[in-house]
């Protein structure tokens, strides 16, 4: 008997190769697969011209309703992605739904804008996983009596520990996405499937070709779906034009050395595009949203030996009795580095790095690991 016999799984299908292969693998394992595409409704994503605002629009394949879609710019969750997801579902002969999360997605865009205006650098992909993919999507899975929610993330769930399931890094460390899943609650791991977590990316593409999926050579999406041109400040200015104003650029002693066009245009560690020449390389070392200033300094001014974070989520017992060794990741595309961590409160933690780290950025997530096991993480408040 196949492992998925008698079990239903809702698969988040983005139209990319990873989620498509995830759905195909689950189908071949005997799961009752239901595919879905999250209609986020951002200005560059999918919009239905029939103004259907129901929670879920059924598009069961192969007898799918022909939903009319308005084409916007290409980007993650675009109309092309929706079409690709629908086509893959039809080829796999699984039901397919478009889920209308437009109102819920507005919360993520508001968070993104608010964080930039507050002088922090947000990470909307983590919030999307917490609030939508394993939040609202999990709620919908329960409504259709699905046992699991599955995605195409490069991460793994280990069920061998009697204490409960553990979240692990993906086998392909170059593609590992456990960082963006750190906010998953322990109870939700039991209902989460990550079918490609044991695979490396080249093998995923090979499987897509073997399954004859048309997305086998589709490029990976790189941009944030609601900012496909990567001009974050433009979006912030469009949403809150009264918040983006020129201000002073300060040196490390507090002297005014230039003017900026709005602190939202800059992030910690930025070197290019500052618009100030002092005869040697300078970097953005601080943003003060209240004073509407940015501070520039030398590369060594970016170094931190510690950080504190809040809004923490622990997937293992929090280390409350002192620092414990760990590996620390302070941004999505960084390599984990050695350090020590302790829980300093119900939802706060402190990390001490074994070696100073550059550009510890408030607003980004910090995730701590014990080998491949995700211990937990939080949102960086400050580094020093």
Catalytic position from the list 77, 125, 225, 326: 225
**Measured distance CA(319)–CA(312) in Å, rounded:** 12
Do 46 and 86 contact (CB within 8 A), yes or no? Answer: no
Beta bridge partners of 155: 169
The DSSP secondary structure of 18-47, one letter per residue, reads HHHHHHHHHHHTT-EEEEEEEE---TTS-E
- Is 225 part of the annotated catalytic residue set? yes
Q: Report the b/e string of 117-149 with b at 16+ CB within 10 A.
A: bebbbbbbbbbbbbbbbbbbbbebbeeeebbbb
Beta bridge partners of 192: 149
Q: Is 358 exposed, middle or buried (0-12, 13-18, 19+ CB in 10 A)?
A: middle
Residue 278 CB neighbours (<10 A) = 11
Q: Choose among 170, 151, 27: nearest CA to 95.
A: 27
Catalytic position from the list 76, 77, 128, 326: 128
Neighbour order of strands in the sheet with 56-58: 56-58, 96-100, 32-39, 8-12, 148-150, 192-193
- Is 125 part of the annotated catalytic residue set? no
DSSP 8-class letter at 263: G
Do 153 and 13 contact (CB within 8 A), yes or no? Answer: no
Do 107 and 65 contact (CB within 8 A), yes or no? Answer: no
C-alpha distances (whole Å) from 70 to each of 45, 80, 224 are 9, 10, 20
Tell me which residues are annotated as active site. 128, 225
């Amino acid at each position: 008997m196949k492992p998925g016999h008698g079990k239903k799984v809702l698969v988040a299908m983005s139209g990319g190769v990873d989620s498509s292969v995830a759905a195909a693998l689950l189908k071949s394992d005997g799961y009752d697969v239901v595919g879905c595409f999250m209609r986020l409704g951002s200005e560059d994503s999918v919009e239905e011209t029939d103004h259907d605002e129901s929670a879920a629009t059924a598009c069961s394949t192969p007898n799918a309703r022909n939903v009319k879609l308005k084409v916007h710019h290409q980007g993650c969750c675009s109309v092309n992605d929706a079409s690709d997801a629908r086509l893959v579902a039809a080829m796999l002969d699984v039901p397919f739904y478009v889920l209308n999360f437009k109102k819920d997605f507005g919360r993520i865009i508001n968070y993104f804008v608010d964080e930039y205006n507050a002088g922090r650098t947000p990470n909307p992909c983590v919030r999307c996983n917490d609030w939508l993919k394993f939040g609202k999507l999990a709620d919908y899975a329960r409504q259709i009596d699905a046992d699991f929610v599955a995605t195409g993330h490069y991460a793994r769930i280990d069920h061998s520990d009697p204490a409960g399931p553990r979240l692990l890094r993906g086998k392909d460390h170059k593609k590992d996405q456990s960082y963006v899943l750190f906010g998953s609650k322990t109870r939700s791991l039991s209902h989460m499937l990550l079918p490609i977590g044991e695979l490396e990316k080249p093998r995923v593409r090979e499987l897509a070709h073997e399954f004859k999926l048309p997305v086998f050579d589709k490029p990976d999406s790189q941009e944030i779906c609601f900012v496909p041109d990567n001009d974050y400040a433009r979006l912030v200015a469009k949403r809150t034009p009264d918040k983006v104003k020129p201000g002073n650029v300060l040196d490390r002693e507090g002297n005014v050395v230039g003017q900026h066009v709005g602190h939202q245009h800059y992030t910690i560690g930025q070197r290019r595009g500052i618009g100030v020449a002092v005869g040697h390389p300078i970097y953005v070392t601080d943003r003060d949203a209240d004073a509407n200033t940015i501070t520039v300094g030398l590369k060594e001014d970016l170094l931190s030996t510690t950080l504190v974070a809040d809004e923490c989520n622990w997937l293992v017992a929090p280390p409350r009795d002192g620092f414990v060794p760990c590996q620390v990741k302070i941004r999505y595309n960084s390599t984990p580095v050695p350090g020590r961590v302790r829980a300093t409160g119900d939802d706060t933690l402190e990390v001490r790095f074994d070696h100073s780290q550059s550009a510890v950025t408030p607003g980004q997530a910090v995730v701590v690991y014990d080998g491949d096991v995700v211990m937990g993480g939080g949102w960086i408040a400050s580094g020093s």
